[in-house]
Amino acid sequence: MKLLSLLYFFTSSAFAQLPYIGSSARRDLRGGRRAIGVPSIGQQIQTQMKTLKHIAAVVTLALCALLTPACDAGKPALPVKVMQRNALLAGGKVAIFTNTGNKTLSVLVVLENASFEERKRYDLVLSPGEKKEIGGFEGWKVVPGETVSLTSDGYASASYKFID
């Protein structure tokens, strides 16, 4: 519970609006002008807000990483097989998702390329035994090093990295 309260605090607008504690020593005594080379209060606040947003993002990611395994504990593995093949017409590869279970699944697929800072999500509905492909024609050419994350209600999430 304390972790969730901490997460709420770091991501709330109240945290982002903490007052800036400046120093009156930064002002020149002559008419209240800024000393040369000292950033304005607006610039200082802007820098502080960037820092706070970065801290909030890091804390949020860390907490999500800690809490995700706990949320998935006890859930069955997602019955989706992930494979890849060479694209026939376009360059790159095609990702293949196969439902190996006996129920129709609604699966959120997130493909991510960290090198190019690109991410795309697809919502797939897979009947038992059905295969669906994502490649250049669907708007994503799979290349080695990319990751794919799969989530579906009632199942533990799964992540894979494309190689070769």
Domains and CATH numbers, the chain: 2-72 (no CATH), 80-161 (2.60.40.10)
The neighbouring-strand residues paired with 148 are 111, 160
Count Cβ atoms within 10 A of the Cβ of residue 148 and give its class: 0-12 exposed, 13-18 middle, 19 or more buried: buried
Does this model's pTM top 0.85? My answer is no
Decide if pLDDT at 71 tops 80: no
How large a percentage of the chain has pLDDT more than 70? 65
Q: Is the pLDDT of residue 17 over 60?
A: no
pLDDT tier, 59 (very low <50, low <70, confident <90, very high otherwise): low
The C-alpha angle 98, 133, 128, rounded to 5 degrees, equals: 25
Query: In the predicted model, what is the mean pLDDT of residues 133-142?
Result: 89
Computed from CA positions of residues 109, 83, 117, 12, in that sequence, does the dihedral angle turn out positive or negative? positive
How confident is the prediction for the chain on average, in pLDDT? 76
Asked whether the beta carbons of 92 and 138 are under 8 A apart, the reply is no
